[in-house]
Amino acid sequence: MTMFSYITLLATLTIFISTCTVRSCPPSDRAALLAFKAALHEPYLGIFNSWAGTDCCHNWYGVSCDMETKRVADINLRGESEDPIFQKAGRSGYMTGSISPSICKLKRLSSLTIADWKGISGPIPACITSLPFLRILDLIGNRLSGQIPEDIGRLHRLTVLNIADNLVTSRIPRSLTNLSSLMHLDLRNNRIWGSLPRDFGRLRMLSRALLSRNYIGGTIPDSISKIYRLADLDLSLNRLSGEIPASLGKMAVLATLNLDANNLSGKIPYSLFNSAIGNLNLSKNSFHGYLPDVFGPGSYFMVLDLSYNNFWGPIPKSLSQASFIGHLDLSHNRLCGRIPAGPPFDHLEASSFAYNACLCGKPLGACR
Protein backbone atom coordinates (compact mmCIF):
# COMPACT_ATOMS: atom_id res chain seq x y z
CA MET A 1 0.00 0.00 0.00
CA THR A 2 1.41 3.36 -1.02
CA MET A 3 1.68 6.21 1.47
CA PHE A 4 -1.04 8.09 -0.47
CA SER A 5 -3.41 5.10 -0.28
CA TYR A 6 -2.71 4.71 3.44
CA ILE A 7 -3.44 8.40 4.11
CA THR A 8 -6.63 8.20 2.03
CA LEU A 9 -7.81 5.10 3.93
CA LEU A 10 -7.00 6.73 7.27
CA ALA A 11 -8.92 9.86 6.32
CA THR A 12 -11.91 7.77 5.21
CA LEU A 13 -11.94 5.84 8.49
CA THR A 14 -11.68 9.09 10.45
CA ILE A 15 -14.65 10.57 8.61
CA PHE A 16 -16.64 7.33 9.11
CA ILE A 17 -15.92 7.24 12.84
CA SER A 18 -16.74 10.95 13.20
CA THR A 19 -20.01 10.46 11.31
CA CYS A 20 -21.02 7.56 13.54
CA THR A 21 -20.15 9.58 16.62
CA VAL A 22 -22.20 12.57 15.48
CA ARG A 23 -25.18 10.40 14.58
CA SER A 24 -25.23 8.69 17.97
CA CYS A 25 -26.29 10.16 21.28
CA PRO A 26 -23.47 11.04 23.67
CA PRO A 27 -22.50 8.31 26.16
CA SER A 28 -23.45 10.67 29.00
CA ASP A 29 -27.04 10.94 27.72
CA ARG A 30 -27.26 7.18 27.28
CA ALA A 31 -25.97 6.62 30.83
CA ALA A 32 -28.53 9.10 32.22
CA LEU A 33 -31.37 7.34 30.42
CA LEU A 34 -30.29 3.92 31.68
CA ALA A 35 -30.10 5.25 35.25
CA PHE A 36 -33.59 6.71 34.78
CA LYS A 37 -34.82 3.33 33.49
CA ALA A 38 -33.21 1.47 36.42
CA ALA A 39 -35.41 3.37 38.90
CA LEU A 40 -38.62 2.24 37.17
CA HIS A 41 -40.42 -1.08 36.81
CA GLU A 42 -42.80 -1.67 33.91
CA PRO A 43 -43.96 -5.32 34.00
CA TYR A 44 -46.57 -5.65 31.25
CA LEU A 45 -45.74 -3.84 28.01
CA GLY A 46 -41.97 -4.11 27.72
CA ILE A 47 -41.57 -0.50 26.63
CA PHE A 48 -37.97 -0.46 27.82
CA ASN A 49 -36.96 -3.53 25.78
CA SER A 50 -35.92 -1.22 22.96
CA TRP A 51 -33.57 0.70 25.23
CA ALA A 52 -30.54 -1.30 24.10
CA GLY A 53 -27.42 -0.61 22.07
CA THR A 54 -25.23 2.45 22.04
CA ASP A 55 -27.43 4.86 20.08
CA CYS A 56 -30.28 6.15 22.24
CA CYS A 57 -31.36 8.52 19.46
CA HIS A 58 -32.69 5.71 17.26
CA ASN A 59 -35.46 3.27 18.10
CA TRP A 60 -35.47 3.82 21.85
CA TYR A 61 -39.16 3.89 22.71
CA GLY A 62 -40.33 7.38 23.68
CA VAL A 63 -36.93 9.04 23.18
CA SER A 64 -36.20 11.71 20.57
CA CYS A 65 -33.03 13.67 19.94
CA ASP A 66 -32.24 17.08 18.53
CA MET A 67 -31.28 16.73 14.87
CA GLU A 68 -28.36 19.14 15.15
CA THR A 69 -26.86 18.47 18.57
CA LYS A 70 -27.80 14.76 18.75
CA ARG A 71 -28.59 15.33 22.42
CA VAL A 72 -31.73 13.82 23.98
CA ALA A 73 -34.48 16.43 23.60
CA ASP A 74 -37.74 14.64 24.35
CA ILE A 75 -38.91 11.81 26.58
CA ASN A 76 -42.52 10.90 25.91
CA LEU A 77 -43.80 7.96 27.98
CA ARG A 78 -47.58 7.78 28.32
CA GLY A 79 -49.44 5.01 30.11
CA GLU A 80 -52.63 5.78 28.18
CA SER A 81 -51.94 5.63 24.46
CA GLU A 82 -53.17 4.32 21.12
CA ASP A 83 -49.69 3.10 20.30
CA PRO A 84 -49.68 -0.47 18.85
CA ILE A 85 -47.74 -1.72 21.88
CA PHE A 86 -50.80 -0.95 24.05
CA GLN A 87 -53.28 -2.37 21.54
CA LYS A 88 -51.29 -5.58 21.31
CA ALA A 89 -51.23 -5.96 25.09
CA GLY A 90 -54.92 -5.04 25.35
CA ARG A 91 -54.36 -2.91 28.41
CA SER A 92 -53.23 0.47 29.66
CA GLY A 93 -49.86 0.97 31.24
CA TYR A 94 -48.78 0.47 34.82
CA MET A 95 -45.38 1.39 36.16
CA THR A 96 -43.87 1.63 39.62
CA GLY A 97 -40.65 3.11 40.92
CA SER A 98 -39.57 6.74 41.01
CA ILE A 99 -38.23 9.48 38.74
CA SER A 100 -34.46 9.36 39.08
CA PRO A 101 -32.56 12.65 39.45
CA SER A 102 -30.34 11.30 36.66
CA ILE A 103 -32.92 12.82 34.31
CA CYS A 104 -31.39 16.19 35.19
CA LYS A 105 -28.17 15.22 33.41
CA LEU A 106 -29.97 15.53 30.08
CA LYS A 107 -29.11 19.21 29.76
CA ARG A 108 -30.77 19.68 26.36
CA LEU A 109 -34.07 18.14 27.45
CA SER A 110 -37.01 20.10 26.06
CA SER A 111 -39.97 17.87 26.89
CA LEU A 112 -40.48 15.41 29.74
CA THR A 113 -43.72 13.44 29.73
CA ILE A 114 -44.15 10.56 32.20
CA ALA A 115 -47.92 10.42 32.34
CA ASP A 116 -50.71 8.11 33.49
CA TRP A 117 -48.63 5.22 34.81
CA LYS A 118 -50.63 5.15 38.06
CA GLY A 119 -47.88 3.72 40.28
CA ILE A 120 -44.81 5.94 39.95
CA SER A 121 -44.17 7.49 43.36
CA GLY A 122 -41.62 9.60 45.21
CA PRO A 123 -40.84 13.29 44.74
CA ILE A 124 -40.43 15.41 41.65
CA PRO A 125 -36.63 15.73 41.44
CA ALA A 126 -35.72 19.23 42.64
CA CYS A 127 -32.92 19.35 40.08
CA ILE A 128 -35.54 19.45 37.31
CA THR A 129 -35.32 23.24 37.57
CA SER A 130 -31.72 23.09 36.29
CA LEU A 131 -32.87 22.12 32.77
CA PRO A 132 -32.72 25.45 30.92
CA PHE A 133 -34.41 24.25 27.71
CA LEU A 134 -37.40 22.49 29.32
CA ARG A 135 -40.69 23.53 27.70
CA ILE A 136 -43.05 20.73 28.74
CA LEU A 137 -43.24 18.98 32.12
CA ASP A 138 -46.16 16.54 32.12
CA LEU A 139 -46.34 14.13 35.08
CA ILE A 140 -50.12 13.67 35.29
CA GLY A 141 -51.67 10.49 36.65
CA ASN A 142 -49.05 8.99 38.95
CA ARG A 143 -48.52 8.83 42.72
CA LEU A 144 -45.88 11.51 43.02
CA SER A 145 -45.62 13.18 46.41
CA GLY A 146 -43.57 15.82 48.14
CA GLN A 147 -43.33 19.39 46.93
CA ILE A 148 -43.40 21.37 43.75
CA PRO A 149 -39.75 22.48 43.46
CA GLU A 150 -39.41 25.87 45.16
CA ASP A 151 -37.39 27.38 42.33
CA ILE A 152 -39.68 26.13 39.55
CA GLY A 153 -39.71 29.72 38.31
CA ARG A 154 -36.21 29.23 36.87
CA LEU A 155 -37.73 27.39 33.91
CA HIS A 156 -38.32 30.49 31.81
CA ARG A 157 -39.05 28.47 28.66
CA LEU A 158 -41.71 26.27 30.32
CA THR A 159 -45.06 26.39 28.49
CA VAL A 160 -46.80 23.36 30.06
CA LEU A 161 -46.75 22.35 33.73
CA ASN A 162 -49.03 19.40 34.42
CA ILE A 163 -48.79 17.45 37.68
CA ALA A 164 -52.52 16.71 38.02
CA ASP A 165 -53.80 13.54 39.68
CA ASN A 166 -50.90 12.92 42.02
CA LEU A 167 -50.30 13.17 45.79
CA VAL A 168 -48.27 16.38 45.83
CA THR A 169 -48.44 18.12 49.22
CA SER A 170 -47.14 21.61 48.85
CA ARG A 171 -47.81 25.30 48.74
CA ILE A 172 -47.75 26.90 45.31
CA PRO A 173 -44.17 28.21 45.15
CA ARG A 174 -43.85 31.97 44.97
CA SER A 175 -41.46 31.58 42.07
CA LEU A 176 -44.23 30.01 39.95
CA THR A 177 -45.30 33.46 38.79
CA ASN A 178 -41.87 33.89 37.17
CA LEU A 179 -42.88 31.37 34.48
CA SER A 180 -43.38 34.06 31.87
CA SER A 181 -43.91 31.56 29.00
CA LEU A 182 -46.41 29.31 30.81
CA MET A 183 -49.58 28.63 28.82
CA HIS A 184 -51.06 25.55 30.50
CA LEU A 185 -51.08 25.01 34.29
CA ASP A 186 -52.74 21.87 35.64
CA LEU A 187 -52.41 21.09 39.35
CA ARG A 188 -55.79 19.37 39.78
CA ASN A 189 -56.46 16.63 42.30
CA ASN A 190 -53.48 16.91 44.61
CA ARG A 191 -53.03 18.07 48.20
CA ILE A 192 -51.85 21.58 47.45
CA TRP A 193 -52.58 24.04 50.24
CA GLY A 194 -52.02 27.66 51.13
CA SER A 195 -53.23 30.59 49.06
CA LEU A 196 -52.86 31.61 45.46
CA PRO A 197 -49.96 34.02 44.91
CA ARG A 198 -51.24 37.59 44.93
CA ASP A 199 -49.24 38.28 41.76
CA PHE A 200 -50.78 35.33 39.90
CA GLY A 201 -51.59 37.81 37.14
CA ARG A 202 -47.92 37.90 36.13
CA LEU A 203 -48.55 34.69 34.17
CA ARG A 204 -49.56 36.77 31.16
CA MET A 205 -49.32 33.94 28.59
CA LEU A 206 -51.56 31.56 30.54
CA SER A 207 -54.64 30.22 28.73
CA ARG A 208 -55.70 27.43 31.13
CA ALA A 209 -55.37 27.39 34.93
CA LEU A 210 -56.78 24.18 36.41
CA LEU A 211 -56.36 23.87 40.19
CA SER A 212 -59.49 22.05 41.36
CA ARG A 213 -59.65 19.39 44.08
CA ASN A 214 -56.96 20.74 46.37
CA TYR A 215 -56.88 22.56 49.73
CA ILE A 216 -56.22 26.05 48.41
CA GLY A 217 -57.55 28.77 50.71
CA GLY A 218 -57.54 32.53 50.94
CA THR A 219 -59.17 34.81 48.42
CA ILE A 220 -59.15 34.96 44.62
CA PRO A 221 -56.42 37.40 43.54
CA ASP A 222 -57.76 40.34 41.58
CA SER A 223 -54.57 40.22 39.50
CA ILE A 224 -55.94 37.19 37.62
CA SER A 225 -57.93 39.60 35.47
CA LYS A 226 -54.63 40.83 33.98
CA ILE A 227 -54.10 37.48 32.23
CA TYR A 228 -55.72 38.58 28.99
CA ARG A 229 -55.27 35.16 27.29
CA LEU A 230 -56.94 33.17 30.09
CA ALA A 231 -59.86 31.14 28.72
CA ASP A 232 -60.37 28.45 31.36
CA LEU A 233 -60.15 28.99 35.14
CA ASP A 234 -61.05 26.09 37.42
CA LEU A 235 -60.67 26.65 41.17
CA SER A 236 -63.50 24.34 42.22
CA LEU A 237 -63.44 22.02 45.22
CA ASN A 238 -61.02 24.08 47.29
CA ARG A 239 -61.28 26.25 50.40
CA LEU A 240 -61.41 29.70 48.85
CA SER A 241 -63.29 32.40 50.74
CA GLY A 242 -64.30 36.01 50.32
CA GLU A 243 -65.93 37.57 47.28
CA ILE A 244 -65.40 37.08 43.55
CA PRO A 245 -63.45 39.99 42.03
CA ALA A 246 -65.76 41.88 39.68
CA SER A 247 -62.85 42.24 37.26
CA LEU A 248 -63.18 38.56 36.28
CA GLY A 249 -66.34 39.46 34.39
CA LYS A 250 -64.42 41.95 32.26
CA MET A 251 -61.91 39.45 30.88
CA ALA A 252 -62.09 39.32 27.11
CA VAL A 253 -61.65 35.58 26.48
CA LEU A 254 -62.52 33.89 29.79
CA ALA A 255 -65.06 31.28 28.67
CA THR A 256 -65.14 28.83 31.61
CA LEU A 257 -65.18 29.82 35.28
CA ASN A 258 -65.63 27.01 37.79
CA LEU A 259 -65.66 28.13 41.43
CA ASP A 260 -68.05 25.52 42.82
CA ALA A 261 -67.60 23.84 46.20
CA ASN A 262 -65.66 26.57 48.00
CA ASN A 263 -66.50 28.96 50.85
CA LEU A 264 -67.10 32.03 48.68
CA SER A 265 -69.70 34.51 49.89
CA GLY A 266 -71.19 37.93 49.31
CA LYS A 267 -73.00 38.94 46.15
CA ILE A 268 -72.13 37.75 42.67
CA PRO A 269 -70.68 40.57 40.53
CA TYR A 270 -73.14 41.67 37.86
CA SER A 271 -70.30 41.62 35.33
CA LEU A 272 -70.23 37.81 35.30
CA PHE A 273 -73.70 37.64 33.75
CA ASN A 274 -72.91 39.79 30.71
CA SER A 275 -69.44 38.64 29.77
CA ALA A 276 -67.54 36.19 27.58
CA ILE A 277 -68.14 33.46 30.17
CA GLY A 278 -70.29 30.66 28.74
CA ASN A 279 -69.74 28.04 31.46
CA LEU A 280 -70.26 29.46 34.93
CA ASN A 281 -70.46 27.19 37.96
CA LEU A 282 -70.82 28.91 41.34
CA SER A 283 -72.71 26.11 43.10
CA LYS A 284 -72.06 24.92 46.65
CA ASN A 285 -70.87 28.22 48.10
CA SER A 286 -72.37 30.77 50.49
CA PHE A 287 -73.59 33.45 48.10
CA HIS A 288 -76.71 35.24 49.26
CA GLY A 289 -79.23 37.90 48.34
CA TYR A 290 -81.40 38.51 45.31
CA LEU A 291 -80.30 37.18 41.95
CA PRO A 292 -79.43 40.27 39.91
CA ASP A 293 -81.94 41.13 37.22
CA VAL A 294 -79.25 42.08 34.71
CA PHE A 295 -79.36 39.40 32.03
CA GLY A 296 -79.60 40.44 28.40
CA PRO A 297 -78.48 39.70 24.82
CA GLY A 298 -74.88 39.54 26.01
CA SER A 299 -75.71 36.60 28.29
CA TYR A 300 -74.87 33.30 26.60
CA PHE A 301 -74.49 30.26 28.84
CA MET A 302 -73.98 26.63 27.96
CA VAL A 303 -74.00 26.05 31.72
CA LEU A 304 -75.17 28.37 34.50
CA ASP A 305 -75.15 26.63 37.88
CA LEU A 306 -76.06 28.64 40.98
CA SER A 307 -77.41 25.75 43.04
CA TYR A 308 -76.70 25.09 46.74
CA ASN A 309 -76.37 28.71 47.81
CA ASN A 310 -78.53 31.09 49.80
CA PHE A 311 -80.29 33.17 47.14
CA TRP A 312 -83.78 34.42 47.90
CA GLY A 313 -86.53 36.33 46.14
CA PRO A 314 -87.87 35.79 42.62
CA ILE A 315 -86.14 34.38 39.56
CA PRO A 316 -85.01 37.36 37.44
CA LYS A 317 -87.37 37.91 34.50
CA SER A 318 -84.43 39.18 32.44
CA LEU A 319 -83.17 35.59 32.18
CA SER A 320 -85.64 35.21 29.32
CA GLN A 321 -83.71 37.92 27.43
CA ALA A 322 -80.46 35.93 27.42
CA SER A 323 -79.21 34.90 23.99
CA PHE A 324 -78.98 31.29 25.10
CA ILE A 325 -79.03 29.22 28.30
CA GLY A 326 -78.49 25.51 27.84
CA HIS A 327 -78.32 24.16 31.37
CA LEU A 328 -79.62 26.21 34.29
CA ASP A 329 -79.59 24.99 37.90
CA LEU A 330 -81.15 27.15 40.62
CA SER A 331 -82.00 24.29 42.99
CA HIS A 332 -81.28 24.24 46.73
CA ASN A 333 -81.72 27.95 47.40
CA ARG A 334 -84.48 30.05 49.00
CA LEU A 335 -86.07 31.38 45.83
CA CYS A 336 -89.79 32.12 45.79
CA GLY A 337 -92.46 33.11 43.29
CA ARG A 338 -93.62 32.14 39.83
CA ILE A 339 -91.14 30.63 37.36
CA PRO A 340 -91.16 32.87 34.28
CA ALA A 341 -92.69 31.44 31.10
CA GLY A 342 -90.96 31.02 27.74
CA PRO A 343 -87.33 30.29 26.93
CA PRO A 344 -85.10 29.16 28.52
CA PHE A 345 -87.56 27.96 31.15
CA ASP A 346 -89.73 25.94 28.78
CA HIS A 347 -87.01 23.32 28.16
CA LEU A 348 -85.82 22.92 31.75
CA GLU A 349 -86.74 20.10 34.09
CA ALA A 350 -88.14 20.34 37.60
CA SER A 351 -84.75 19.40 39.08
CA SER A 352 -83.42 22.81 37.99
CA PHE A 353 -85.75 24.49 40.51
CA ALA A 354 -86.14 21.86 43.25
CA TYR A 355 -85.61 22.51 46.97
CA ASN A 356 -86.38 26.20 47.07
CA ALA A 357 -88.66 28.12 49.43
CA CYS A 358 -91.80 28.58 47.36
CA LEU A 359 -91.21 28.45 43.61
CA CYS A 360 -94.21 27.48 41.51
CA GLY A 361 -95.31 27.17 37.92
CA LYS A 362 -94.17 24.94 35.08
CA PRO A 363 -92.20 22.64 35.35
CA LEU A 364 -93.10 22.61 39.09
CA GLY A 365 -96.64 22.54 40.46
CA ALA A 366 -99.18 25.24 39.61
CA CYS A 367 -99.14 28.44 41.63
CA ARG A 368 -102.05 28.87 44.07
Domains of the chain, by residue range, sit at 65-92+108-120+128-360
Q: What share of the chain is helix, strand, coil (3-state, %, to 5)?
A: 25, 25, 50
* pLDDT score recorded for residue 23: 60
Kindly give the residue spans of alpha helices, DSSP state H, lying in 39-167: 84-89
**Which residues does the chain have with pLDDT short of 70?**
1-23
* pLDDT score recorded for residue 13: 39
Query: For 93-106, what is each residue's pLDDT tens digit?
Result: 899 999 999 999 99
Residues in a beta bridge with 193: 171, 215
Superfamily of domain 65-92+108-120+128-360: Ribonuclease Inhibitor (3.80.10.10)
* pLDDT score recorded for residue 4: 41
Strand order in the sheet with 72-78: 63-65, 72-78, 111-115, 136-138, 160-162, 184-186, 208-210, 232-234, 256-258, 279-281, 300-305, 324-329
Distance between CA atoms of 215 and 195, rounded to whole angstroms? Answer: 9
* pLDDT score recorded for residue 343: 85
- Report the chain's C-alpha Rg in angstroms: 27
* pLDDT score recorded for residue 81: 84
* pLDDT score recorded for residue 89: 81
* pLDDT score recorded for residue 110: 98
